[in-house]
Amino acid sequence: MTRRHLLSAADLTRADAEEILTTAASMHDIQHREVKKLPTLRGRTVINLFFEDSTRTRTSFELAGKWMSADTINISAKGSSASKGESLRDTVLTVDAMSVDAFIIRHSASGACHQVAGWVDASVINAGDGTHEHPTQALLDAYTMQQRIGSLEGRHIAIVGDLTHSRVFRSNLILLRTLGARLTVVAPPTLLPSGIGAWSARDGFTVSSDLDAVLSGDDVPDAVMMLRVQKERMSGGYFPTAREYAVGYGMTAARYRALSAANPDVAILHPGPMNRGLEISPEAADSPHSVILDQVSAGVAVRMAVLYHLLAADTTEVAV
């Protein structure tokens, strides 16, 4: 894979994605070692530039860089000159002028990472841009599912929840199709992105607003990904009450019991952070079918693999 940026899941061919997932598997072994250090990115500088809150993504990118010996620096909007009114362009040009090798960027504006990629010499990795994309999340979700249920070719995966505001949904839709999975997406009509009818017809996925129908019948999903209700991105009322959302679209305890009886091997995912009791019940989140903490663990390995392929794949012999 010879690529400088990772801005969208669409940047990845099937061969690229499979290469990253294979590398991630070897990186994952390192996570279980007592001494977690590889020399791979020695002398490289990686900047985590986060304009939106994050626990998992920022920590895992930081660990990924550190475990490969890169110098990793975190810059957040609070505490940087962005809070004094500096533009995104001036902020990244300032840091780029210090000769850094990669920017990992999270921003509330869809398209922000594409813009930055046009301004800087460094590699740019999209760690979530508005409601647009989050490609490393999709990679770690695919990795986690493969570990639990095997190859994704022909497998049925359901993505459920606040599709309108979800960059995780958009990146997963692209990557999972690239990897050969069959997809059903489920949301209340008010949280289906506009134009999804034409989009699903073009890209060949199924859209539903009937969660119980999708989770039963003769094509029970192999994996079900629950998405967070993104209240911070909602400007109005998208559903009457939290209770009604949970009853219609949450992975309630009753729904979890029915699903795990219908498919005892089902994997339940959630990218986090979870609204327990809203989109997912504790019974489902803490169940043996839940791979939510496996997703977190995979996040470090997958991000190590992405950094490796973007920054070091051609020069490892020199670095080691």
Min CB(52)–ligand NCD separation in Å: 7
Residue 272 binds to ligand NCD (criterion: CB under 6 A): yes
DSSP string, 175-239: HHHHTT-EEEEE--GGGSPTTHHHHHHHHT-EEES-HHHHTSTT---SEEEE----GGG--S-SS
Residues 6+ apart with CB under 8 A from 17: 139, 142, 175, 178, 179
**CA angle, corner 44, sides to 38 and 45, nearest 5?**
120
The CA distance from 60 to 68, in Å, is 12
What distances in angstroms separate CA 270 from CA 28, 160, 198, 223, one per listed residue? 20, 10, 27, 11
Min CB(278)–ligand NCD separation in Å: 12
Which one among 271, 303, 305, 311 touches ligand NCD, defined by CB under 6 A? 271
Which one among 65, 128, 135, 250 touches ligand NCD, defined by CB under 6 A? 128
Q: Is the dihedral of CA 273, 237, 221, 24 positive or negative?
A: negative
Min CB(315)–ligand NCD separation in Å: 29
Residue 49: beta bridge partners? 75, 105
Q: How many other CB atoms sit within 10 Å of the CB of residue 286?
A: 12
Residue whose CB is less far from ligand NCD, 183 or 269: 269
Residue whose CB is less far from ligand NCD, 44 or 51: 51
Residue 228 binds to ligand NCD (criterion: CB under 6 A): yes
Number of chain positions touching ligand NCD (CB under 6 A): 11
- For 149, the enclosing helix (H) or strand (E) is helix 135-149
Min CB(271)–ligand NCD separation in Å: 4
**Rounded-to-5 percentages of helix, strand, coil across the chain:** 45, 15, 40
The CA distance from 303 to 64, in Å, is 6
Residue whose CB is less far from ligand NCD, 38 or 116: 116
Residue 130 binds to ligand NCD (criterion: CB under 6 A): no
Which one among 132, 167, 177, 182 touches ligand NCD, defined by CB under 6 A? 167
By rule CB under 6 A, what string of x and - marks binding of each residue 3-32 to ligand NCD? ------------------------------
Residue 221 binds to ligand NCD (criterion: CB under 6 A): no
Residue 58 binds to ligand NCD (criterion: CB under 6 A): no
For residue 304, report the phi and psi dihedrals to the nearest 5 degrees: -60, -45
Min CB(126)–ligand NCD separation in Å: 11
Residue 57 binds to ligand NCD (criterion: CB under 6 A): yes
Closest residue by beta carbon to ligand NCD: 228
Secondary structure class of 113 (helix, strand, coil): helix
Residue 137 binds to ligand NCD (criterion: CB under 6 A): yes
Which residues would be at the binding site for ligand NCD (CB under 6 A)? 56-57, 128, 134, 137, 167-168, 228, 230, 271-272
